[in-house]
Structure 1
Amino acid sequence: MKHEQGFDVTAAEFAPLHHTPQDWRDRFAFRLVKLMRIIPDKFFAKRYGHRAVVLETVAAVPGMVGGLLQHLKAIRHIRDDQGWIKELIEEADNERMHLMTFIEIAQPSKFERFLIMAVQLIFYNAYFFLYLLAPRVAHRVVGYLEEEAVTSYTQYLAEIDAGNIENIPAPQIAKAYWNLPDDARLREVVIVIRQDEAEHRDTNHHFADKIVERAAP
């Protein structure tokens, strides 16, 4: 997503929003996401660039799956999709650009590249059936995943600001996609990606809420 962004923001000034679970479906989605976070936390710890590579592999799946199934549903019911398909496909492409950016930054090992393929294989199939059977829960899962992503990128930014992670020059792919200045660095990349994740968080929680509204008597 190409957007204007101020880069003087600090990690502490960005307040992550949280959707409070309203029923057992929301609680299931929330607990599932918390469970999914355990392995990356243990495996990558504060290696935020490498963590981002694997997590963005997961994040790039839901938009494409949701867009595909919404497309088929719109055709099946011969109705307008109200913009959902475009929004979801754009989300998937945006997450793919996050992945491509962090591939340049982190330079993942062969094992991590294998992990990317394994994670994608497992998550794609699991999410496909989740969205097929329970789209509200699927969107809520993504909303909570994006909440965790915002938290992770906020921690990443704090480590950069503290001098614990080198503020290296931004890769060219990031400067071109987000229209960053020529002298942009890692800090600016983390800020724009965090903003993207916040937008995806809000979009998916909104979609879940709309499904609740449609189901209401």
Structure 2
Amino acid sequence: MNRMLLFRVVLSPKGGDYSRLFATAATGDMTEPFDRMTELKNHQSIMLTSVSQWRRAMSSKAAAAAVAETETKENSVESAKKEGGEVVSSYWGISRPKITREDGSPWPWNCFMPWDTYRADLSIDLTKHHVPKTFVDEVAYRTVKLLRIPTDIFFLRRYGCRAMMLETVAAVPGMVGGMLLHLRSLRKFEHSGGWIKALLEEAENERMHLMTMVELVKPKWYERLLVLTVQGIFFNCYFVFYMLSPKLAHRVVGYLEEEAIHSYTEYLKDIDGGAIENVPAPAIAIDYWRLPKDATLKDVIAVIRADEAHHRDVNHFASDINFQGKHLKDAPAPLGYH
């Protein structure tokens, strides 16, 4: 019994007066030790209750502190946005760099940077036409002319809506061609000869045409539905075309660009004739093509048409050299990509 009492004393909380317990246990009187043990148990229960309450209090304070810290961060981000300051990304933990225009004003776009901008070559020949010479050329030419029929019927002379819809399609070939040439370069351990970059930049340029047209023309729900349908069909068809014959695929795009030049020329005629209002150019177009601050819709259509003429020449040239059966590193570099 004495050993049991000593064992219970060792496990008891600190701070108690244990001299009486040891003395009583030694003399053999067991009444007072049991009373003392009951007192110690009560003391231990009180201490455990106090610890539990302290932990709950601390956890509540920690949760409150976490909420307060989150609210402080959100408020600081909101204030930074309002004041035009840096906003730190909550994921990467880095600040977005402060990029400015040449005049020192903040750069408002994140879809392209100042080093992506350029001045369009308006002196490019707009009348150039590739006369079909081979069976592949004839197939490509007739295919494009056939595709123009439903487009003319649906859009008539609503060239803003036509341009918006066609640009969603025009941005597909460069991405598909660049992707397939990229994979081919990886498989064959070959350089691309500059063609991957050229085609991907063509796709990006067409996408910027679309971003500009969306600022000018607000698409209706059925036009959005048409875009989804046409893009899905065209992407898969062009993918198959490019796998079977890159020559045919690029020739089709070359003729599509010729049709785009024609459409934008008619667009300009309607602007000059007053059928379409010559509104101020969107800010995104002014920054992307480095247009003057007082640029108008006519200026925007002129630079887009020049871009399409450049794409026409690149794709007809790509069809002429025929990637199929030729090493990419031996293929001539595209125009402007040496």
TM score, norm. by length of structure 2: 0.60
| Deviations 1:146-178 (CA, angstroms, capped at 9, x unpaired) | 000001111111111111111011111111111
Shift of 1:3: 1.9
1:95 matched to 2:194? The reply is no
Shift of 1:2: 2.1
The structure 2 residue matched to 1:146, chosen from 249, 253, 257, is 257
| Deviations 1:75-133 (CA, angstroms, capped at 9, x unpaired) | 11111110000000000000001111111111110111111111111111111111011
Q: Is the 8 A contact 1:16 1:151 kept in 2?
A: no
1:2 matched to 2:113? The reply is no
One-letter code of the match for 1:2? Y
- Superposition pairs of residues 1-217 of structure 1, within 5 angstroms: 2-5=118-121, 15-211=126-322
Structure 2 regions of 5+ residues with no counterpart? 1-116, 327-338
* Paired residue total: 210
Query: How many Å separate the matches in 2 of 1:21 and 1:5?
Result: 26
Query: How many Å separate the matches in 2 of 1:38 and 1:133?
Result: 26
Query: How many Å separate the matches in 2 of 1:164 and 1:206?
Result: 36
Query: How many Å separate the matches in 1 of 2:179 and 2:323?
Result: 21
TM-aligned CA distance change 1:115 to 1:211, over 3 Å: same
One-letter code of the match for 1:156? Y
TM-aligned CA distance change 1:212 to 1:116, over 3 Å: closer
Secondary structure, aligned partner of 2:151: helix
TM-aligned CA distance change 1:206 to 1:35, over 3 Å: same
Shift of 1:48: 0.2
Which structure shows the bigger proportion of residues in helix conformation?
Answer: 1
Q: Is the 8 A contact 2:160 2:216 kept in 1?
A: yes
Query: How many Å separate the matches in 2 of 1:79 and 1:159?
Result: 48
TM-aligned CA distance change 1:23 to 1:4, over 3 Å: closer
Structure 1 regions of 5+ residues with no counterpart? none
Query: How many Å separate the matches in 1 of 2:324 and 2:176?
Result: 22
Query: How many Å separate the matches in 2 of 1:132 and 1:34?
Result: 23
TM-aligned CA distance change 1:63 to 1:213, over 3 Å: closer
Query: How many Å separate the matches in 1 of 2:297 and 2:172?
Result: 25
TM score, norm. by length of structure 1: 0.92
Higher alpha-carbon deviation: 155-164 or 27-36: 155-164
One-letter code of the match for 1:103? V
Q: How many percent identity over aligned positions?
A: 55
| Deviations 1:150-209 (CA, angstroms, capped at 9, x unpaired) | 011111111111111110111111111111111111000000000000000000000001
Q: Which has the larger radius of gyration?
A: 2
TM-aligned CA distance change 1:93 to 1:109, over 3 Å: same
One-letter code of the match for 1:150? I
Q: Using CA pairs below 8 Å that are at least 6 residues apart, which structure has the higher relative contact order? A: 1
Q: CA RMSD in A?
A: 1.8
